[in-house]
Amino acid sequence: MDKRLVVTRFAPSPTGYLHIGGLRTALFNYLYARKHGGKFLIRIEDTDLARNSKDAARAILESFAWVGLECDDEIIYQSERFPLYASYAKKLVEEGKAYYCYMSKEELEELRESQRAQGITPRYDNRYRDFTGTPPSDHTPVIRIKAPLDGEIVFDDGVKGRICVQAKELDDFIILRSDGSPTYNFVVAIDDALMGVTDVIRGDDHTSNTPKQILIYQALNFSIPKFYHIPMILNPDGKKLSKRDGAMGVMDYKLMGYLPEALLNFLVRLGWSYEDQEIFSLQEMRELFDAKDINSSASRYNQEKFLWLNQHYIKACDDTRLEALLQEFGAKLDEYEKPIKSLLFSALKDRSKTLVEFAAQLKDIQTPPKSYDEKMLQKVDSSALGVLAKIIDEEEFAQCFCALNPSKLESYLHNYAESSSVKIGKLMPALRLALLGKGGGIGVCEALLIIGQDQSIQRIQALLAHLS
């Protein structure tokens, strides 16, 4: 095991919701830190004052609280650190590693147009790099880093391997704008260094930023962290994941009835594996995850697997917690005694892939039918209706409700049907239609016991009246 103190971070921009790609990145950082007994930190990158949203920042932290990824220190907000960034920019100027650039927007656009006309990729031409003249009085300068004019920037990516970028591909990029606001690559390098970040695990869309950040580390004599750039999550067709495919806000999954442990289990398998294991508790993830095992190829979003995992965790959920969760979806369970509630949960866990589906099926059971499935009505056997009309008055039928035993009730129904010369295959659909108004759903015997004797009899009588 790595003996250094591993420090990782997740640094979202609060310009929108936290989507699952961002949560996966956070999860990988969290797990790697926990694996090595290190620290997981959160930094809110809110330097874009025009686009930042306080609501988005709160939603991001709400997402972390829901899935249970706790950070170790105070959350850092970059918008509160502008004086710090300005001091580092001026330090670099004083050391000759950065400089004031007085180029106006008009000059820059003119340069770009000229370069395009010559078939050259537009870029700043370093015209103020060694400027010693009198600065223009009518223009507030930016500060640019002095990028090397030759050589190469090399780093070993933990996912992609060795990456080499020629220095000539980088220009003297801006680190502090004329309004005093810092640029992304500048503040990221400073904050990662000051926060003691040792390992940066992030999306591979940041790979091109890394050479620029390395230049900042070097200019400020900071230690350079280890980088891991992870491939994006693709849709089932191998294209960029869209909202329709699943690229929604993390809290949307809560509203859709997913459990947080299912979401984390699903995300950890999008880019990482351990032998043939599919089910991972958060504790197992902490123990087994290693950044060096992150896949170098992109993963594909698989909705069926997600639903399968969610149902697994619904089944594993204890009844007390499940009841509390279902109340958020409008489920009403106070009317049931504990044995009935236990029977209800047992019956619906096997049939519910989401809490929304669970609550909907519960409502179907609780609500007396207002109409009946037409196809089932046409198939109802008159002899089965005759049995239903008689059975509701049988004492033994009433006693089955007291026993709360679906198997015992099923045996009774089979025996009663046989003694009445009616096939059980005709009786049960008629009974299901009376109770639920349609086909499908939980077992007929479970439905009878959950609905209860009085309500079950009322529903049977309602069907008989409807068909009379």
For residue 220, which of 180, 192, 247 has the smallest C-alpha distance? 192
Annotated active-site residue 332? The verdict is no
Distance between terminal CA atoms of the chain?
77
- In the set 243, 292, 332, 363, the catalytic residue is 243
Q: Residue 211 in contact with residue 153, Cβ under 8 Å? A: yes
Alpha helices in 289-366 (DSSP H): 303-316, 319-327, 338-349, 355-366
Torsion of CA 416, 421, 425, 429, to 10 degrees: -70
Q: Residue 139 in contact with residue 104, Cβ under 8 Å? A: yes
Residues 112, 95: Cα–Cα separation, whole Å: 30
Coil, strand, or helix at residue 418? helix
Residues 208, 435: Cα–Cα separation, whole Å: 62
Residue matched to tokens 């507030």: 140
SS (H, E, C) 94-118: HCCCEEEECCCHHHHHHHHHHHHHC
Residues 324, 319: Cα–Cα separation, whole Å: 9
CB atoms within 10 A of CB 403: 12
Q: Residue 40 in contact with residue 30, Cβ under 8 Å? A: yes
Query: What are phi and psi for residue 162, nearest 5 degrees?
Result: -70, 130
Coil, strand, or helix at residue 334? coil
Residues 413, 428: Cα–Cα separation, whole Å: 9
Coil, strand, or helix at residue 9? strand
Residues 225, 198: Cα–Cα separation, whole Å: 5
CB atoms within 10 A of CB 134: 6
Residues 457, 90: Cα–Cα separation, whole Å: 84
Query: What does the DSSP assignment read for 200-215?
Result: EEEEGGGGGGHHHHHH
Q: Residue 265 in contact with residue 273, Cβ under 8 Å? A: no
Residues 274, 278: Cα–Cα separation, whole Å: 8
Structure tokens at 184: 């992304």
Active site residues: 243
